[in-house]
Amino acid sequence: MTEQEALQWWQRDDLCYRGGELFFSGFAVSTLAKRFCSPSFVYSFARVRQNLERVHAALEDAKLPMGSTVLYAMKANRFGPLLTSLQQTGLCGIDACSPKEVEQAMSCGFLPEQISFTAGSLSRRDVQALARVEGLFVDCDSLHAIKAWGELNPGAHIGIRVNPAMGVSRADNDKLQYAGATATKFGIYEEQLDDALALAQQFGLKITKVHFHTGCGYLTSELPQWDSVIAACLEKFVARCPDVKTVNVGGGLGVPHVANDGTLDLGKWSAVLHKHFGHRKFHVEIEPGEYIVKDAGILLLEKTFEETKQFTRFVGVDAGFNIAPEPAYYSLPFQPLAPRCSGALRKVTVVGNINEALDVWYRDAWLPSLEGQDSLVLINAGAYSASMASNHCMRGEMREFLLADVER
């Protein structure tokens, strides 16, 4: 990435430098840094709403005869005020993946009928907890799940999560792929389908939904692969389930992390949906997490030190990978930015405060001089950051704030 690209690729109306001052959602970041302690995640609900509305517009363009539903994948970010605000938009339901997530969604105002549950490795306790939530729709991801759910809910309508043995992810990152050449735990494979149908019949279960989510973070260049995934699922699974009314094509819509990524072309995305569902009588569900919230969040950090070691200029901050694990786990770079930008840029490596070699936020980031600046910001921290945080080294403390969607 060149110096200029590092300064430009992420800029948009609500996240940009103006007169050398970084603004996010109408606030100078230096003001946010003074107002909120470090480390703090700050989310912009205006941006969340825009992202959601953009997805809805693309679904409209897809001209789906039986309509569509957006289920926000709350594993991306389950912050209560955010979920409550989402509920109030009326623009989405919820994709939940644990009984506790179901509880959290309901406590933020979502009705069981607005929640779709998809998860694996369910314990007896999980199944019992889910069965107590009247109106909850459950996708069974294995023969085990069909049996466990059928035993408690004979005659129910269910979905099945399937695995077409092919997936789609950002830049073919196999850590972000849920289905592919290597067997995964996710979903029912084609060769298991006969057994799945037989089990459903045994318990009088009606399979009214087929669900697949085969990977995360796909962008425009991966759309042909997503297209093939849908085609395979329709042919191998949906065609063999006569009672199916709904097809859930999962989440996985990505946002750019580096200059070359570019944004996901939703026009092309909606054309893929139109191609497969424009002439079929299925209601279509999608369950994005990242696309809705990731670029709506920043992580405010305090600068702790600056020092050159063996020709590398290190900048330390007061939080490590444990509170936002994606850069370390999935090699997804979270661009660091300075609240004020002036003068020439130089390359620095931004590191956290955890005693692990992988605790590097960003290698060779272009940043301005940080002299007189106490803070740094990481962008793209709205998804899979706070929700995946741990207390490693007992440094799990952080706070979350939602900037309400109001005129400023």
Site residues for ligand PLP per CB under 6 A: 73, 75-76, 95, 118, 213, 216, 250-253, 287-291
Cβ atoms of 138 and 152 within 8 Å: the answer is no
In the complex, least distance from residue 213 CB atom to ligand PLP, rounded to whole angstroms:
4
Q: Which residue, 92 or 253, has its beta carbon nearer to ligand PLP?
A: 253
DSSP category for residue 216: S
In the complex, least distance from residue 77 CB atom to ligand PLP, rounded to whole angstroms:
9
Q: Which residue, 38 or 163, has its beta carbon nearer to ligand PLP?
A: 163
Residue from 57, 72, 68, 55 nearest 276 by CA = 68
324 — phi, psi (to 5°)?
-155, 80
Cβ atoms of 140 and 237 within 8 Å: the answer is no
Shortest-Cβ-distance residue relative to ligand PLP: 251
In the complex, least distance from residue 73 CB atom to ligand PLP, rounded to whole angstroms:
3
Bridge-based pairing of strands 27-28 and 21-24 is: antiparallel
DSSP category for residue 187: S
**368: enclosing H helix or E strand:** strand 360-368
Task: Give Cβ neighbours of residue 159 (< 8 Å, ≥ 6 apart).
Answer: 116, 118, 137, 138, 139, 140, 207, 208, 209, 210, 211, 246, 248
Which neighbouring-strand residues pair with 215? 177
Q: Which residue, 170 or 276, has its beta carbon nearer to ligand PLP?
A: 170
Q: Which residue, 287 or 318, has its beta carbon nearer to ligand PLP?
A: 287
Angstrom distances, CA of residue 209 to CA of 132, 133, 247, 320? 21, 19, 6, 41
Can you give the C-alpha Rg of the chain in angstroms? Answer: 22
In the complex, least distance from residue 345 CB atom to ligand PLP, rounded to whole angstroms:
31
Task: Give Cβ neighbours of residue 158 (< 8 Å, ≥ 6 apart).
Answer: 137, 138, 139, 140, 146, 149, 200, 205, 206, 207, 208, 209
In the complex, least distance from residue 287 CB atom to ligand PLP, rounded to whole angstroms:
4
In the complex, least distance from residue 253 CB atom to ligand PLP, rounded to whole angstroms:
6
Q: Which residue, 22 or 216, has its beta carbon nearer to ligand PLP?
A: 216
| Per-position DSSP letters for 285-348, written without gaps between them | EE--SHHHHGGGEEEEEEEEEEEEETTEEEEEES--GGGS-HHHHH-----EE-SB--S-EEEE
In the complex, least distance from residue 41 CB atom to ligand PLP, rounded to whole angstroms:
16
What's the helix, strand, coil split of the chain in %, to 5?
Answer: 35, 25, 40
Cβ atoms of 79 and 400 within 8 Å: the answer is yes
In the complex, least distance from residue 398 CB atom to ligand PLP, rounded to whole angstroms:
20
Q: Which residue, 141 or 227, has its beta carbon nearer to ligand PLP?
A: 141
Q: Which residue, 73 or 140, has its beta carbon nearer to ligand PLP?
A: 73
Q: Which residue, 117 or 277, has its beta carbon nearer to ligand PLP?
A: 117
Question: What single-letter amino acid sits at 77?
Answer: N
In the complex, least distance from residue 125 CB atom to ligand PLP, rounded to whole angstroms:
21
Q: Which residue, 7 or 82, has its beta carbon nearer to ligand PLP?
A: 82
